[in-house]
Structure 1
Amino acid sequence: MTSSPSAVQPARPVVLTRPVAGARAPRYRLDRSAPARWPGRPAALDDAQRAVVEHRGGPLLVLAGPGTGKTTTLVEAVARRVEAGQELGSILVLTFSRRAARELSERITARVGAAFGGPVAWTFHSWCYAQLRAYPMAGDPAPRLLTGPERFTRLRELIDGSRELGRPGWPAPLEVCLRTRGFAEEVEALLARVREVGLDPASLEELAARARRPDWAALARFYTDYLDNLGYDGALDYPELGHRAARLVEDPERGQPIRDRYRAVFVDEYQDTDPAQERLLAALTAGGGDLVAFGDPDQSIYAFRGARVRGLLDFPARFRRADRSPADVLALGVSRRMSPPVLAASREVASRLPVSGLPVWALRAHRRLAPAEPDHAGEVEALSFPSEGAETEAIADLLRREHLTRAVPWHEMAVLTRSAEALPAVARALTAAGVPVDLAGDEPPLAERPAAALLLTALRCADDPGSLTTADARSLLLSPLGGADPAGLRALGRALRDHARSAPGEAVAAADGADSDQAPGSSVGWPAGLVSSAELIRDLVADPGSLPGPVPAELARPAVQVGSLLALVGRRLRAGVTPQDALWALWEGTAWPARLRRVSASGYGAARRAAEADLDAVVALFDAAGRLGERRGPGGGAQGLIADLTSQDFAADDRAGAEVRPDAVRLLTAHRAKGLEWDVVVIRGVQDGAWPDLRAQHSLLGTEQLDAPQRGGLRPPETPRDRWAEERRLFYVAVTRARHRLVVTAVDAVGADGARRSELLAELGVRITSGASWTPRPLTLPSLVATLRRLAADPGATPALRQAARRRLATLAAVTDHADRPLVLSAHPDRWWGARDETASDVPVAAPTAPIPLSGSSLSSLRDCSLRWFLEHEAHAGQPATTAQSFGRVVHALADEVTAGRTPADLAALDARLDLVWRQLAFEAQWRSDQERTAARQALARFLDWHAAERGRAVLGSEARFGIDLTVDGRPVRLRGSMDRIELDDGGQVHVVDFKTGRSAVSPREIAEHVQLGTYQLAVREGAVDDRVTTRDAPSPETTPQPEEAGESAVPGGAELVYLRREANEDRAGPGAPGGPTGLPQVQRQDALPPGRSWIDELVGDAVRTITTEAFVPTPGPGCDYCSFRRACPAFVEGRQVVT
């Protein structure tokens, strides 16, 4: 996916094609950019450039500063050689990025006017890989290159294996960190440095003995094992490429064709080479071929990768002419990029950079660049701000003004920072301010990108249907594969649960008023009564043919569609198709691809960017599946692909290169900005502690101490002066990215602990201006609409001004996109808070003729706060089920099993039942799960003690659902609920028990009018349990308590709360130790309702009147502290409307 950062490319149709069946190693590529156009005519050159172009006969070092026409010179040098009769295939051009290699190839091909049968310019890695594949060792297959994530995963696996095998004998201090990601990263960095500086395992072991580093000795042995592992698999990693390629070119026989082929080698960005690459170049040109290296010692910023400026400074001595004299040195002296003010600021910074080892005249010419257009306008600013927020706000305003007032395209501006950690926060702030950003290097691992993650989840569930969880089913149905919405999913869950409740032999009872879309997991092993709607939906996806007849087909369409697709792909996988073909079947199985292609080609804004990101992820996933098939053959399998991708901790380097958004400001680090340029550049965060970053770069394994063998193998410790020089070179690179305008910002806070601007700011040679007073009106649509609205309603404005503001608002409100969608919704009065009258629903909350449904929980909620009741019960805006609710459902279900005699009243038996379901409960941490598991066992122990205690009562039932019809104020009412346990005492009175699994108890004064218990007593009084009392099967009339008169309603004798998580004496003695012995639970009793009308009757009447009059008002109280609607509640400041 390629695009030029310096030109806006028109939108092009998106095409994603499938490879021909049987083709080896298919590659998918999504390309939306138009090909670059380069002139085919000779370029105008200055004297220094002509001297480089005409150079023949030996090595040449060209000092090429930023914007000095280095690329043009290189292209012309190649073209002149071709025009003189030299074959293009005998000229090798090497550079350090694929973007640069692609641009060089295009420019050279356009300039010489002839096509070439292969790449003209290469990266070092790509050229080395091509040679190793073209000239393999006799009998060996062509090597396969590991991606970065694949290499890291393999290293972690080998480290884990080495620990178990006791090899390579890690030092004791390292044993504790072998399994950590950080240690694997340290090992990866050290092994890469070993190859970069030209060492091997044997030389590393010698260095270990000399430096007395037992960790290096262990790593040398581990490196041998790692290389053996690569060799067994026919694989190579990037650090190994240069080493193997150098050995190949040096080989007297195998390397002879390569050395004979190239008569001239051109190297771009030579200051970024490492010793291994220098060795390769020496081997390539050992036969007398020309070597022309372009470099800039002031832009040597990759010391952390092994590149050191010393390599460029040593070039004349290392690469000598035929007469053994040092290589020639030339300097390009005209800057064609930077405006004079920007060039002058860059010269100020460059003058402070230390360089030694080059001819004085060459260094002077290199540093004293002259502008190509002395009269060209430009600007350099240095600004300081009191805070990071003020700094970012000013940057956003500056970028918008450049775009709107100076017509600078978004893609011609960039914001650079010292470190990547600052980028996400800056991106969020700029986006919020209306500045489109392209954040470089922020891609997550492939398996975490939404589109790829979705296809991998579907692939796993198709290959292994037993792995389908409720969470998988929900995510698949709500994804583009299913196309469902949350409301439809809730409706489907309710329909499935209603059918299950009514089906014979089913016991699927939810808690009173519950309508949970979240389930603990699989229903296997759950006690009766705990199968949730989420589990029923999961079961339907697993078996789409099991759709019950009463459930509407349209409601179940997404579940049936996804289930059928998974079943189809599963059958194909079992028939032997590759993961690649299975992914293609999933991709093509819905309307998702067409929708993405349509939005990508014709959409706009965030929707288009999201569609393009999804297409990119799908392309990368297909490419990864193809690589897996190439590596493992047909036996790799779907699970192998999934394991491979989910084990990767960071994004692979995309083969096609990262796409650049053509309509956004680039946001990247100074390191990543090297080689790029923009009209406007903002360098952010140039304050002490951030830039320069002078912290010593010490690693656990001493990677930074390794050096090339010819330099002794060990590098002297880095000094603060070295760090300063590196940081100043990095700042110089950032400064020289700007063509016309450069803005450097820093935080200079007030106070002893505040940040201070860096002295780098002063090195620009311009006045530092305080940005504390930067308060211009933001040039954003929301700001414009707000200003116009204020003017339109301002009584102090003239009528003409108010009318003009209204006309402009109307114009903005009428602006639409190509699909006739309004672009400025906030300009329309329908969108203004307080501008419209309050509305009244045409449909009453309670239908006049239908019974009003009430329950104990709804009565309690209506009494405490009728507005909260409405939002939870009618608007269905409540919070989803929590693990505490799942805990309570499990304990209640097991208590019911004991009461009903389905499970013995034995703690061991209950413990075993608890083990069956506990692993399916979702907790945020394992320690929390363990803690709650202990609490559940203690709660069941207390229940058994309470259950066995003699209370002079007989059990009538448990988990008893009821529904009774009442008439209140002339309105029918349906009172419903579920009683945890019903008991009959010796006097024939009915007692209701409600088990509580919460940690707190109600106060003694509240128990007298506890709504839940009062509701149960009212239900008993109104006949909810009459059938249980009159039909109870008793051994004899003498021992069986009966109601006072046969045929009369049961008499409530009271109700009680039994707290299974609290001891009977806990209020006095405090809670017991977790896991300790338990006693009887705490019990709170409510007296029997008095004869006639009681407080609960009054409460029911109040509730009915509240519902029928729809007087839902907030009632502040203790529950407000835990209410999920507080932020929208008019009783509190944060919930009041802005406009009243």
Structure 2
Amino acid sequence: MANALSTPLRAAGARVPELRSALTVRDPIPHRSPGGAAGGTVHCAMLPTYADEADWIADSVLAAWRGAAGMPGAAPEHIPVDRRPTTAVLVRVRSQIPAIESALRERGLPVEVVGLGGLLDTPEVRDVVCTLRVLADPTDGAALLRLLTGARWRIGPRDLVALHRRARAIANARRQVAADEAAEISPDLLDEATLVEALADLGPAQAYSAEGFARLRAYGRELALLRYRLDQALPDLIADIERTIGLDVEVAVRAGRDGAGDAGLARGHLDALGDVAARFSGETPGATLSGFLSYLAAAEDEERGLAPGEVEVVEGAVQVVTAHAAKGLEWDVVAVAGLSRGLWPGPVRNSDHWLGGLGVLPFPLRGDADGLPELALDEAGDQRAVARAVTDFTDAWRAHDEREERRLTYVAVTRPRRLLLCSGYWWGEGTKRPRGPSVFLREVYDACLDGGPGHLIDAWAPEPTPDATNPTAEVVLRAEWPADPLGGRRPALAEAAGLVRRLMADGPAAALPGPVGPVLAGPVGPVLAGPVTPIGSTAEPVEPAEPEVDPEVARWQREADLLLAERAELTRLSGAVEVALPGALSVTQLVALRRDPAALARTLRRPVPAEPNPYARRGTAFHAWLEQRFGADRLLDLDELPGAADADAAPDEALVELQERFLASEWADRSPVEVEVPFATVIAGVVVRGRMDAVFARPGGRFDVVDWKTGAQPTGPAADVAAVQLAVYRLAWAELAGVPVDRVGAAFHYVRHGVTVRPADLLDVTGLTAMIAQLPEDSAQH
């Protein structure tokens, strides 16, 4: 089928390989089509509306998941992640995404919308961004209302009206004061009645419901605490918001025992937002919160103007991604959506070429000019010849655009390994005329009609009559407000909560046998972190809340008790709590992985602030002195502050002595080629980030990477563990400099002792990969 789609490309001279029969599907997914028939390897469908297409895609994906796992009728969250086929839905334009995402989520399928615009649409990121907006602009009522009426606070209409009345009362009182004292106050300030002000001063409790007043008061206190932290760096502020509004815990408890669900995706979304904030802060001089919010607004409105991030295949979720971003990737199951006229291929616009669009670079100035239409004016001797040349150029542009659309379609249909779904629809959202199948869907239909092995036509809706109207225009949208955060899951969760309550009534959670610590799940297998004492696992029953306790706080306490009891029961049943190895690690964390996987697992599962270290400040000061000496002026990552890992660094009064000892060392008179070099490298599928202190050149095109240590020199096994840091530095510099790794040496210089240590047999990329992929057996059980 892909060969049929690409035949016109080869006829036009494009270098598109013809796929051999050896590349056909060898491992088809045993599943059923949405209509109940036995599934094949290529399915196509033409549906009446865009909503019907979204439902067909979601039903087909769910059937494929169940078939691949051999679990007919299973809910998606009950299918183990390692038995779910990797899945993607490819779209032509982002306007297709909402309906498809909604249909997938309605069936319980975890979804990741790829791209910054998609990131901003995820619920957890939206909550953080709305909180940022409220902190930056107290008059942003839309953001505040979303938070107040959202799943966390669920403030109802009556309490919202009371809050608005309170805001108006505050504004009226301000006007009265201005009139009585003849004060000159800005009219804008007098007229503004912000809900944020009302949250800070709610007025009489009788104006609200009892529960609503308690929630509003709690949220007002929360906002006040966050305002005190507005002077922080953007990544730190975002992390504080996550902790304050409970998102860090929320995304953690959303995972099932086997990692099912989309909690990992949610955590990844929050981490991605933090990365965006860090990049914005690092690349924007004088970065501010308001500037960052403007940047996010531009990303949401004009995402095509932003550089797309790298797309990676994610296991255990359905990725919704544009076809342009899917190049070079493969999934087990791929749905190509929206193969309808006017959508895929899209309309040809003259504004896309340089004669019709003022913002388009002239083709002769582009690096790919050889593959673009040429405006031949050299032999045009009069206006008529010029007009013919322009017409020929426009026709050539139209043919070029059609070829590019066909290339994109070829890319899309060659992404799946096991199952391809192609679909279109007649009626789009808000369209007055039916679209119908595009030329590409027609070609897929013809291939399926010819009866190829595994090629099936699931549905093919007839063309609407000439007087037909768009049926989606007659659909009345309905929604519950305030929305139930549990939705259709409420009955099951209510039953589970009842079981937990009965368990608590039978005996304290601490009496459950066999608590063990968290498990660090690497790419190959888990590593037990060893016994720990669970929080709240005392032999004493939980005391009931005192009557004077705030109702909201009492509710939190009850929920915490239920979560602790549930965790204890899961621990008893599973024998271990699994902690997923994150997709990105700092060099410090990688060293900790080699030193003690158990400790790293506990840290990843329950991060706590590091104990204040008076020595780290001295190490930082020494590194800053070296930067000035070497003429460097670089920004530092928070988790890579120089000296932060020197647990035995020198006391504060020893800075001068450290400087003198360095000046007496072999490195004092040498000039580095680079200092404070940030890097990110991929080892065993994990992104490792860090910062090298200094790189020195040696004769023969060789280099030395040196890490300054202000602490004591380790010995024995501790020295071997520390050498992991140098192994990563050596590999990273070899990649950055484009030289073989054997041309890069690495050393620790212990400044206080004047000793340079060059560990022998540093791990190469194979050794580092093995360290991550196959964690040491002797640390598997403690």
TM-score by length of 2: 0.40
**Could you say which structure has the larger radius of gyration?**
1
The structure with higher relative contact order (CA 8 Å, sep 6+) is 2
TM-score for the superposition, normalised by structure 1: 0.29
